[in-house]
Amino acid sequence: MQNFTYHSPMTAEELAAACRKIRHVALDMDGTIYLGSNLFPFTRDFLSTLRNNGIGYSFLTNNPTRSLDDYVAKLRKMGIEAERSEVYTTAVATIDYIREHYPDARRLFVLGTPSMTAEFEAAGFEMCADDPADRPDLLVVAFDTTLTYPRLCRAAWWASQGLPYIATNPDRVCPTDQEVVLVDCGSICTCIEHATGRTPDIVIGKPNPDMLRGIMSHYGLQADEIAMCGDRIYTDVAMARNAGALGVLVLSGETTLETAMNSDPQPPVTALNISVFADLLLKAK
């Protein structure tokens, strides 16, 4: 990537026309604006560029381990002022989905962090214990950094019993700046599948387009007026494609340049980082 800045399968004129339409940028977080606990040095300037040019932004994440308040606090600690309304997690999206599709459900067995389960409890749901007598209405499996073997086994049991089964996100691993592989929700669900033969009834997070559609509805945007920036082809770029938005892959997180160039279809934009995308937006004006 020594001399790489960006690539697009579109012509220069097509790319400029697409960029001129953008009124709002949806931003993945880990791997896009920060990595682990480290804010990228270009992130604050990128957000300032958007604000100064009348382009809105929202923070989207497939990582449900933190509550909205936790994410707002994390962003502010990094020097990014954000409101709860600007952050949308797969935990919140899952709550919205359950309310719409299972309005009578109240009792949940959840593989999730205490911060995430607190979000569910604040929304009026009851967490079931690791007890075969404490039967839930729904099984929810998430990226659970506090996961214990007995709770994994209990989740597999409830999956085997045919309960409605929702996964918060499909990610196999979570980006990190540490020398470790962070096993994410998709891999936990694969474990349950191998044990029971059961896959989730629905996976809520990216690439499910509903998160982007919610932003479009909230801000009165058309699909081609929003760009989705993220570091993963199979979640971020795929969600943009599913929603009809502009997908921008950044190489600051999980995806390598080789993987991006070999993908089919190609991302509409592959950029070294969000700063390069800001340059494209300004150049198109």
Q: pLDDT (tens digit, 0 to 9) for every residue of the chain, 285 residues total?
A: 668 999 999 999 999 999 999 999 999 998 999 998 899 999 999 999 999 999 999 999 888 999 999 999 999 999 999 999 899 999 998 998 999 899 999 999 999 999 999 999 999 999 999 999 999 999 999 999 999 999 999 999 999 999 999 999 988 998 777 899 999 999 999 999 999 999 999 999 889 998 898 888 889 999 999 999 999 998 899 999 999 999 999 999 989 999 999 999 999 999 999 999 999 999 998
The pairing of strands 56-61 and 87-89 is: parallel
pTM of the predicted structure, to 2 decimals: 0.81
How many angstroms separate the CA atoms of 24 and 229, rounded? 11
CB proximity list for 159: less than 8 A, separation 6 or greater: 139, 165, 192, 196, 198
CB proximity list for 49: less than 8 A, separation 6 or greater: 278, 281, 282
The kind and range of the H/E element at 183 are strand 182-183
How many angstroms separate the CA atoms of 237 and 186, rounded? 17
How many angstroms separate the CA atoms of 220 and 256, rounded? 34
The helix/strand count (H/E) of the chain reads as 11, 16
β-bridge mates for residue 127, sequence order? 108
